Chain A
Amino acid sequence: MNTRSLFPERGPAFWGTGFTALIASGTIFILFVSLVIESVPVFKTQGVSFLWGTDWFAGEAYGALPMIFGSLMVTAIAVVLVFPFALGSAILTSEFLNGRLRLMVKAAMELLAGVPGIIYGLMGIALLTIWVRDVFGLIDGNTLFTAGLLLAVMVLPTVMTLSEDALRAVPGEFRDTALSLGLTRMEMVLKVVVPQALPGLAGAVFLGLGRAMGETIAVMLVIGGIDRIPQPWFNLFASGQSIPSKIGREAAEALGFDLQWSALIALGLVLFVMVMALSLAGNLLLRRAR
């Protein structure tokens, strides 16, 4: 009988690459399992109320909601701020710049995407917090808004280059057809190219957000570091806390204090799931776009 093997060729190359692939995916799996195991004590003590508790006092109560709220809020602010600029610059680069100039802009953006978070963080403290304080007349410039704004600046290059790729992936026939019907270039871009690239553009934003949500050091420096949900909740100009900044601040001192450590690991688990969901959604959309 002619049966087909799942792995048709099992030479040394197969085993070699298979081993490295196993290590790579196994690491993610082990990471996830250890996060789950280490966060069990806090869930045992507090139950799932850990997720919606609003108070965090080391040794007494651990409530993750202010940090979850802070993470979602700064990410939402970042997306609202980054999308129009990323889309605008991606459209300019893909549709209106030609040849070398386009490659130069892309190269610059890709370089910017690699600048370490701490550099952005320092820029945030030195400039952004002061601007936000002065422009909006605040007492303190360390706010959720400042963190969101800084994240928007940080993820702009990533979102822009991925958006540009999505726009360029739209087949030339669509452009030709639109232009041949007498549309202007701007009409062609807005009515044909952007709608065609929409899944890819959404994917770009989601992947950028994944990075924004996990960013620690830059956010830690400008968010204010207060574990509370602002009053009213939509007050963007209040200090807050995100999950990575909370972990970044407390991890060193909590090491060895069982429950606090477990609570921080549980925060990490929540972040892990949130970022994974964003990346998954982004990759699915990008794949659909291709």
Chain B
Amino acid sequence: MTAHAIQLERVRLSYSGKAVIETASCTVRKNAVTAVVGPSGSGKSTLLRTLCRMNDRIPGFQVEGQVQVLGRDIYDPGINVYDLRKRVGMVFQKPCVFPKSIVENVLFGLRFHATINGKNFSERAEQALRDVFLWDEVKDRLDDPAHTLSQGQQQRLAMARTLAVDPEILLMDEPTSALDPKSSRAIEDLILSLKDKHTIVLVTHNVDQAERVAEDLICVDDKTICHKPCHPLPGEGTC
């Protein structure tokens, strides 16, 4: 059994023939936090979205090479993309809550996948909210509209909604960039607490944040990527 959750081999990503990433080969360890850093427009988000095929909808987007996720080439024609997205969840830059209650937001994805009864739904919602340290703040107002929460709380709610589906890999696209420093710290603590159960890939433009939470670093620049441990031992190379 491989210790890698994700493995890229000579991957080229392009929009209508124009390369965003010319060549990428790297691995992501299981149950570790890997940060993807690089300047704006370098293709960090494109790379991340490739890992759960979120770019499929974009006309002209093309992937060459092999993208192995959880042991399978996810661009193989036989792959069920909806199952893949259940196993590889994604949290976006701007917290996006649906115009529903807090609890209905948490259960939104789960309701499409699980064949469990009502009581188990509320247990799953509670567990997901506990996982993101939001339970104590919202347990008395689960039926309130989700947009009444603060931005930081909404981002944690979005994470709870993704976690409720129980993905093995969690992709996060600059999840703290729209938040104040206090809420950002809360998300960072949350990321650290989740890595026991999940493999986390975090895109961030904040190198300090990457060093605080990540074990491994993937640097994206100049249409290519390189890979290094975040806290290198003496004698280990850097990018």
Binding site for B on A (CB under 8 A): 98-99, 171, 173-177, 179-184, 187, 192, 195-196
Contacts and interface: CB of A to CB of B under 8 A. Distances in A.
A182 B164 CA distance: 12
A86 to B, nearest CB: 23
Interface in B38-58: 52, 54, 57
Interface residues of B, number: 23
A99 B16 CA distance: 13
Contacts of A196: 99
B92 A173 contact: yes
B60 to A, nearest CB: 9
Contacts of A183: 82, 109, 112
Contacts of B82: 182-184
Given A181-B89, A195-B99, A176 B54 contact: yes
Given A181-B86, A182-B83, A183-B82, 10 more contacts: A176-B92, A177-B96, A180-B162, A182-B82, A182-B85, A182-B109, A182-B113, A183-B109, A195-B99, A196-B99
A181 B161 CA distance: 8
A171 B92 CA distance: 13
B59 interface: yes
Contacts of A182: 82-83, 85-86, 109, 112-113, 165
Interface of B: 52, 54, 57, 59, 82-83, 85-86, 89-90, 92, 94, 96, 98-99, 108-109, 112-113, 158, 161-162, 165
28 contacts: A98-B59, A99-B59, A173-B96, A176-B54, A176-B96, A177-B96, A177-B158, A179-B54, A179-B85, A180-B52, A180-B90, A180-B162, A181-B85, A181-B86, A181-B109, A181-B112, A182-B82, A182-B85, A182-B86, A182-B109, A182-B112, A182-B113, A182-B165, A183-B82, A184-B82, A187-B112, A192-B98, A195-B99
A180 B92 CA distance: 10
Contacts of B52: 180
Contacts of B98: 174, 177, 192
Contacts of A99: 59
